[in-house]
């Protein structure tokens, strides 16, 4: 495992430090899921449990190895405490049809009312279901009228951060964000307002700036 880190990333780590980081991640995950065993945990949340600054590829390496050795269970983009995993998967049938629809929506999910029509589910039934999916980490709630698949949202964030960094862009507009992501202007405004709320970006008189990495 440690050899792979050096081979692919030229990154060295002592075995005892790797084991310490793994224990840190697993202990935090187990603690969270003992309190709320219905919830899986995504990569960003796991990565954020480490207070020590290490590259994401190191965290991913540790998580992958933990899955191989059965210390973690993975379903879709979420990780689980093994003793709660079977019950979680058994209880996920309500999510499958919704997930398929959101995968088709990709980066541009419609408003909740439109999803209600698409799925043929009454709005009063759908809204609590979407809130439940959000609490499990399957969806990100952009605002009261809009949800997006967590994996798609993470892709948007990564694409945006990478482009801003590579192109050395310090300030950006809604139009620029829309060009980078291919998302419509109206939805771009909603996502950027969500970014502002989370402290990822800040709106200025002319454009916006990134304040920190989204996972921070």
Q: What is the DSSP string of 102-147?
A: HHHHTT----HHHHHHHHT--HHHHHHHHHHHHHTTSEEEEETTEE
Domain spans in the chain, listed from the N-terminal domain onward? 2-88, 95-216
Nearest to 139 by CA among 101, 113, 192, 102: 102
User: Which candidate, 71, 41, 72, 46, places its Cα nearest to that of 58?
Assistant: 46
Eight-state DSSP code of residue 210: E
Contacts of 128-134 with C-beta under 8 Å, sequence gap 24+, read 129/94, 129/98, 130/98, 132/94, 133/95, 133/98
* pLDDT one-digit tens code per residue, 56-83: 888 888 888 888 888 888 876 778 877 7
Stretch (H or E) spanning 48: helix 43-48
Q: What is the mean pLDDT of the chain?
A: 85
Quick check: 39 pLDDT over 70? no
Quote the pLDDT of residue 40.
73
Could you read off the pLDDT of 110-148 as tens digits, one per residue? Answer: 999 999 999 888 999 899 989 988 988 889 999 999 999
pLDDT at res. 173: 95
Q: How much of the chain, in percent, has pLDDT values that exceed 70?
A: 85
Report d(CA 129, CA 109) in Å as an integer.
Answer: 16
Q: Are strands 73-75 and 146-149 parallel, antiparallel or unpaired?
A: unpaired
**What pLDDT score was predicted for residue 193?**
97
Q: What CATH number was assigned to the domain covering residues 95-216?
A: 1.10.10.10
Rounded to an integer, the average pLDDT of 78-90 is: 71
């Amino acid at each position: 495992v440690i050899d792979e880190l050096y081979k692919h990333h030229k990154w060295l780590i002592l075995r005892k430090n790797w084991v310490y980081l793994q224990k840190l991640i697993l202990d935090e995950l187990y603690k969270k899921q003992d309190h709320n065993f219905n919830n899986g945990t995504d990569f960003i949340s796991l990565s954020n449990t480490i207070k020590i600054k290490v590259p994401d590829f190191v965290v991913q390496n540790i998580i992958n190895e933990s899955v191989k050795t059965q210390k973690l269970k993975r379903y879709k983009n979420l990780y689980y405490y093994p003793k709660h995993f079977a019950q979680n998967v058994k209880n996920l049938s309500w999510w499958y049809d919704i997930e398929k629809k959101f995968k088709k929506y990709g980066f541009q999910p419609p408003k909740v009312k439109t999803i209600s029509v698409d799925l043929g589910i009454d709005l009063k039934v759908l809204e609590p279901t979407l809130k439940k999916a959000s609490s499990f980490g399957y969806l990100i709630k952009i605002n009261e009228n809009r949800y997006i698949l967590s994996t798609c949202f993470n892709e948007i964030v990564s694409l945006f951060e990478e482009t801003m960094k590579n192109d050395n862009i310090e300030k950006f507009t809604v139009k620029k964000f829309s060009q980078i992501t291919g998302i419509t202007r109206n939805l771009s405004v909603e996502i950027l307002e969500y970014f502002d709320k989370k402290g990822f970006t800040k709106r200025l008189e002319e454009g916006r700036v990134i304040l920190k990495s989204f996972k921070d």
